[in-house]
Amino acid sequence: MTRSAETEFATLLETVPIRPMRRRLVRCVAALSFLEGTPPRFLRTSGRPGRCNPRDVDCLYFSETERVADREFHGRFAGVGTATEPRLTFYARVDLKGVVDLSLPAVLNALGMSIDDVLEAWRGAPSPTRLQRLGLAVSSQRRVCAIRFASDACRRAGTTGWNVAIFPDALVAPSRVWILGRSDTSLEELPR
C-alpha cells in the first residue's frame, strides 16, 4: 500500500458511515499487583503496534463483553495453563460519537476493505497492514475516534465477538471515556 493510499483513507474518513456507541467495555489483564486507584496506563499500547494501530500510534483496546475479553486473555495461554491464574477485569464506560463499525458491509465497502483485511496477521508484518493504516489515519483526524472490529481470538475459537480500538489522539468532547476501578470509581477520564 502506498502513501497515496494512506491519504485515501484520510479522505474516506471524511464521509465513511459512522455510528455512536454508549456502553460498557471490558478488558482482562493478568493479576500483577498493579497499584490500585492509579490510572491504569498499562492499558495503553505505549508505542507497541496492535491490530488497529501501527507502532507509535497510541491506542486503547477493549472488548465488548466479558466473554470476549476472557477469550482474548486466556486464548494466548492455550496449552500452558493459567486457566486457574487470577486475572483482573477492567471496565470502561464510553460515550463515543464517531465509531467506524467494521461489522457493517457498507462500512467495509466504503473503505475499500474486506473482512480478510480485518483479520490479516499483523505481528511482525514487514509493513503496516491495511487496518493499521486505517488506524493511523483515524489518529490524525477528529471525526472518527474508534474502530469496532472482529475478535481474531474468538474467530480462532470458532465463535464471534467484537473489540473496540479507541484512539486517544482523535478523542474530543463530547466523546468521553471513563476507565473504571472498584465500585465504578473513575480512574481516568479521556479526553483530559
Partner 1 sequence: METAALEYPSTMVTTPTGETTIPAPLRRYRPKLARASEIKSLEQLPELTVVWTKGIDALLSHRTFLRMLAERLRATPEPSKIVFLFQTKTRKATEPTTAQKLVELFRYFTRPFDLEVAQGIRAGEDAFNEAVAKIVATRQLSEERADRPDHFSELKKVIEATDDLRAKSGKLSADNVAKVFGLSVAELAALVGRARQTASKTPDADSLQPLLKPFERVARVRAVLHQNDFRKWLHLANDELAGRTPLETIRQGKVALVADLVEDMLTGSPS
Residues found near partner 1 in the complex (CB under 8 A): 27-34, 41-43, 45-51, 61, 63, 69, 72-73, 75-77, 79-82, 85, 87, 121, 123-124, 126, 151-153, 156, 163
Q: Would you list the DSSP string of 69-95?
A: HHHHHHGGGTTS--TTS-EEEEEEEEE
Nearer to partner 1, 38 or 109 (CB): 38
Q: Residues with Cβ < 8 Å from 173, sequence gap 6 or more?
A: 191
Beta carbon of residue 30, minimum distance to partner 1 (angstroms, whole number): 5
Nearer to partner 1, 12 or 180 (CB): 180
Nearer to partner 1, 110 or 157 (CB): 157
Nearer to partner 1, 109 or 160 (CB): 160
Beta carbon of residue 22, minimum distance to partner 1 (angstroms, whole number): 21
Beta carbon of residue 85, minimum distance to partner 1 (angstroms, whole number): 5
Residues in the chain: 192
Please tell me the distance from the alpha carbon of residue 59 to that of residue 49, in angstroms, as a whole number: 9
Classify strands 176-180 and 19-30 as parallel, antiparallel or unpaired.
unpaired
Residue 13 grid cell: 474518513
Beta carbon of residue 46, minimum distance to partner 1 (angstroms, whole number): 6
The amino acid sitting at 109 is N
Please tell me the distance from the alpha carbon of residue 59 to that of residue 171, in angstroms, as a whole number: 11
Beta carbon of residue 117, minimum distance to partner 1 (angstroms, whole number): 16
Beta carbon of residue 181, minimum distance to partner 1 (angstroms, whole number): 16
Q: How many CB atoms lie within 10 A of CB 82?
A: 13
Nearer to partner 1, 32 or 173 (CB): 32
Nearer to partner 1, 34 or 178 (CB): 34
Q: How many CB atoms lie within 10 A of CB 187?
A: 18
Residue with cell 464471534: 160
